[in-house]
Amino acid sequence: MALQTRMLGEGFAVEILDVDLAGIDDATLAEVRDQWMAHKVAILRDQTLSDDALVDFTERMGPLFVHVRDQFRSLERPEIMYISNVEEDGRPLGALGNGELHWHSDQTYTRRPVFGTMMYAIKVPEAGGDTWFGDLAAAYDAMPTAMRATVDGRKACYSIEKKSLKRRYETPQHQKDQAPDQWHPLVRTHPYLDRKALYLSPGHMTGIDALSFEDSEAEIARLQDWAAQDRFVYKPRWRKNDVVIWDNSSVMHRRDSFPPEQRRFMKRTGFHLPEERGVPF
């Protein structure tokens, strides 16, 4: 049975209607996966998922990802990372606070970056905290030939801690050791679809080919300006109990800040590609 869906953005981002992810059968899951890959971002509303059900669904989408930032992982289910500004006894329960997050694609600084990221919204602030998505396949497709020639065949360096960005917290040395800088193609091919996308993660990228630091930064800024044009961007408004899944091979994302007195609490999981397709090409 075909899923009921509704397009949300201009050419990407789909809402999948009337699917309960807890206990989803294999055939429906395959359809959700196809819709998600075709449209790069999928939103499913009104989900009720225990931690086990959330991890179970994630694992059926692909090999489970476990975040290197171990201080914000669930003790019971380390595959779940908390993204939150909520504090208990003066300690943050989750990562990333309430500030703005720069455009990036998730874990580009690893050899085998996470393919899909899922966020399950438990508490949503009344204002702000929106996640914006930029369609990097559409941005690549729309490039004039001369611009495309400046990205095809190039490689970029991706780092867990981009020195030129203001840090929210220092990355502990053992986490840096687990995630040495990686070089990936600046244009990557989708692992399953005949689709290329700019592999742009300005929040992680520290260099392009042998360009100087200044020239790389200028190039990254130029590409970000191109890819973040309104025509490539969609910004959903979070609702409590949303599950949003995005394809890190095809979109970048950023987050608006939100008032510190408001509470935002998300459970985040992710899944890899199988090893043979896992390294960007």
Contact residues: Fe ion, CB under 5 A: 106
- Indicate the SS3 state at residue 267: strand
What's the closest the beta carbon of residue 191 comes to Fe ion, in angstroms?
19
> At what angle are helices 26-39 and 51-61 packed, to 10 degrees?
70
Pick between residue 106 and residue 247 the one whose CB is nearest to Fe ion: 106
Pick between residue 188 and residue 255 the one whose CB is nearest to Fe ion: 255
- Residue with smallest beta-carbon separation from Fe ion: 106
Question: Position 265: which residue type?
Answer: F
- Indicate the SS3 state at residue 148: helix
What's the closest the beta carbon of residue 266 comes to Fe ion, in angstroms?
11
Pick between residue 9 and residue 116 the one whose CB is nearest to Fe ion: 116
Pick between residue 32 and residue 83 the one whose CB is nearest to Fe ion: 83
Residues in Cβ contact with 30 at an 8 Å cutoff, skipping those fewer than 6 apart: none
Interatomic CA distance for residues 160 and 134, integer angstroms: 21
What's the closest the beta carbon of residue 23 comes to Fe ion, in angstroms?
28
Count the Cβ atoms, other than its own, within 10 Å of residue 100: 12
Count the Cβ atoms, other than its own, within 10 Å of residue 91: 7
Pick between residue 106 and residue 242 the one whose CB is nearest to Fe ion: 106
What's the closest the beta carbon of residue 215 comes to Fe ion, in angstroms?
26
What's the closest the beta carbon of residue 71 comes to Fe ion, in angstroms?
17
